[in-house]
Amino acid sequence: MKDFINKLYRNHSFIYKGLLFICTTFLIVYLFPKSGKFKYNFEKGKPWQSENLYAPFDFAIRKSDDEITKEKADLNNNSILYFNIERAVVDDVRKNYIIAFEEVFSDSIPNTQLKKISNVGETIISELYTYGILADNYKFSDEKTIALLDGRTEIKRTVFSNLVEQDEIAVVINEILKTNNLTNYKTEFVSLFFDLIEPNLTFDKSFTDKVLQEEINKISYARGSIEKETLIVSKGEVVEGDKFQILQSLKSEYESQVWSKANYNWVIAAYTLLVALALLMLLLFLRKYRVSVFENNTKVTFIFFNILLMVFLTTLIIDYNSKYIYVVPICILPLVFKAFFDARLGLFAHVITVLLLGFVVPNSYEYMFLQIIAGIVTILTISELYKRANLFISVGQITLIYIIAYFAFFIIHEGTVETIEWNVFGLFALSGLATLFVQPLIYVYEKLFGLVSDVSLLELSDTNSKLLKELSNTAPGTFHHSLNVANLAEASANEIGANAMLVRVGALYHDVGKMKNPTYFTENQSTGINPHDELSSKESARIITNHVIEGIEIAKKNNLPDRVIDFIRTHHGTSVVYYFYMQEKKNFEDVDKADFSYPGPKPFSKETAILMMCDSIEAASKSLKEPTSTKIDAFVENIINKQIEDGQFLNANITFKEIQAIKKVLKLKLANIYHLRIEYPE
């Protein structure tokens, strides 16, 4: 049991990666839409590339979205508007009219004329209430069909223009009076009917909507059917018009049949295998080409988390409305990975993610082409993410590539630009704006996963930071030495294509441990008194080597990132404090070399190896007397060759060719520092 536990402990990193791999695979499959995949790929306006296709079963031809939308619009335009009529209103108006008429018109009018006036009043009421008077003003078409309801019983149909609005009452009265030559009584009639006439029609919106919805529900989503074994499309035939719609119908029917209860587990298993295969390729890439990333579980978790996040966001948009698929800023992925790792890893992970999304997005080939091209442009255009202008320029280029590629695909599919959907370009612009969110996202990731980006390195390189200020005040000589080393290291890193920003920051902080005992280091001794004179060689060596351990403690206390602390750990590797070691050997024959050696480890990257070379060269260069270019060349060669002989660079992925390039840079820089002229051959 104990051996089993020990074995688990030894392999805990591998076990964690396995669990992470399994969990991510199942989560991605869970996020996928629950439908099968049609086994043929086809695009509108392009030839059918597969063999002749015969109907595998009977299926209905589905109407296109445009057809369904048109039918709904026609129903809406031709729908009937229902108004409730209150019949009692007319009876009340007639009764009140008889009473009001006697009050308005005097007895002095002859009976014959009075009878005529009374009859005209009755005519006005009949005309106004032939169909009814509206209780409110409505913005409906004059030709719209109207149904009048008494309770829920339809009693009459007409058009909207026959209904009387309240501001039309005076017009109706005036026209009838003109017809009967009674315009001189207009004032009396208007006054009479002003308080008398009441509206009797109210719009029944709920009933109207209910009837319309019932009609919409009756719409058939199919038009005709295809029988089994019927030839659908021949090889080489252009897919367009009805052919395209029939294929779309077959695809929908096929996917719904594949994703049945009987086949559910098989389809899930197939999706799981494909997703697992894609993620496995990513892990194998990390193991072969990015070993440092593969061995760091936090970094592997970070990569898998970002891939899962992009799949989640995309499936979320697809579930809502697949038309907005291009709003998801997929190009954030290579930007983030390039900020924390490198361009090659960023592009590889981006391609894997796009391949996974190809399972779920509509027009998968078009989508994958656009996203992969955009990812390549992202990697090629973003160089220094901490420079804000670079990010804006890159986002502009990405958006432009999206627009150009989409435009080309649309022409291929439709053969014209007349029906192009310009709103899609707006979606690309929104995606570009969302990509700018990468800056705050990088900051969040730094805090959550303990990673370091170039933006953070730029902040750390500020010599006015608290820790570097303290170093310059406590150990000014060491601070000056660190600045010189930073300049040498940055130039060397640029020469071989290493991370110049990282190595510069590492150089600035590599000797912070000397703040504990600054006067024990020669660069800080300004009085001519050497405190080592009162110590044994072993004690002096221990103080010198301890500045590495003390530097790590100070760095952790000041929350410096691990990538920077690595420079403090490795800048002396396992080298020997040679001066005190030789002093001890003069007095004792049997001397343990370990007592005079730095604790290590040896440099394990190009950047840490560069720092070791530059630190040794800069420190030792102070002892050069009457330097010439020949002396400097020999000096640089001797120091770096000694480090190579001691095996200090065995763990670093740096080549002899790169070391030679660094030597060349250091020789040139030292020659410039000492203002040497170039020696021309005789």
DSSP string, 635-667: HHHHHHHHHHHTTTTTTS---HHHHHHHHHHHH
Q: Which two tokens stand for residue 319?
A: 């579930």
Q: Which residue has the tokens 């403690």?
A: 553
**Omega cis (within 30) before 601:** yes
Find the range with the poorest average confidence among 410-419, 587-596, 625-634. Answer: 410-419
In this structure, are strands 81-85 and 145-150 parallel, antiparallel, or unpaired?
parallel
Please check the confidence at residue 141 and state whether its pLDDT lies above 90: no
Under the banding of pLDDT at 50, 70 and 90, the label for residue 679 is: low
Under the banding of pLDDT at 50, 70 and 90, the label for residue 562 is: confident
User: What is the tens place of the pLDDT at every residue in 56-93?
Assistant: 777 777 777 778 888 888 888 888 999 999 888 888 88
Domains and CATH numbers, the chain: 2-27+263-449 (no CATH), 75-216 (no CATH), 454-673 (1.10.3210)
DSSP state of 678: P
pLDDT on residue 410: 80
Report the alpha-carbon distance of residue 406 to residue 369 in Å, rounded. 10
In terms of C-beta distances under 8 Å and separation of at least 24 residues, what long-range contacts does 28-32 make, across chains too?
Answer: 28/275, 28/307, 28/308, 28/311, 28/356, 29/268, 29/271, 29/272, 29/275, 31/311, 31/312, 31/315, 32/271, 32/315, 32/359, 32/360
Q: What is the mean pLDDT of the chain?
A: 85
- Which carries the bigger pLDDT value, residue 487 or residue 185? 487
What residues contact 404, with CB distance under 8 A and at least 6 apart?
A: none
How many angstroms from the chain centroid is the CA of residue 249?
33
Tell me how far CA of residue 485 lies from CA of 478, 482, 663, in angstroms. Answer: 10, 5, 14
Please check the confidence at residue 319 and state whether its pLDDT lies above 90: no
Question: Which 3 state secondary structure label does DSSP give 100?
Answer: helix
Report the alpha-carbon distance of residue 52 to residue 39 in Å, rounded. 14
Find the range with the poorest average confidence among 82-86, 116-120, 410-414. Answer: 410-414
Report the chain's terminal Cα–Cα distance, integer Å.
Answer: 78
Report the alpha-carbon distance of residue 548 to residue 503 in Å, rounded. 17
What average pLDDT does the segment 310-332 reach? Answer: 88
Instruction: Give the containing element (helix H, strand E) for 380.
Output: helix 364-381
Which of 571, 669, 677, 568 shows the shortest CA–CA distance to 621?
669
What residues contact 370, with CB distance under 8 A and at least 6 apart?
A: 326, 402, 405, 406, 409
pLDDT on residue 116: 84
Instruction: Let me know how long the chain is.
Output: 682
Q: Which two tokens stand for residue 492?
A: 């060397």
Q: What is the DSSP string of 113-154?
A: HHHHHHHHHHHHHHHHTTT-BBSS-----TT-EEEEEETTEE
- Which carries the bigger pLDDT value, residue 219 or residue 649? 649
Contact 176, 127 (CB under 8 A): yes
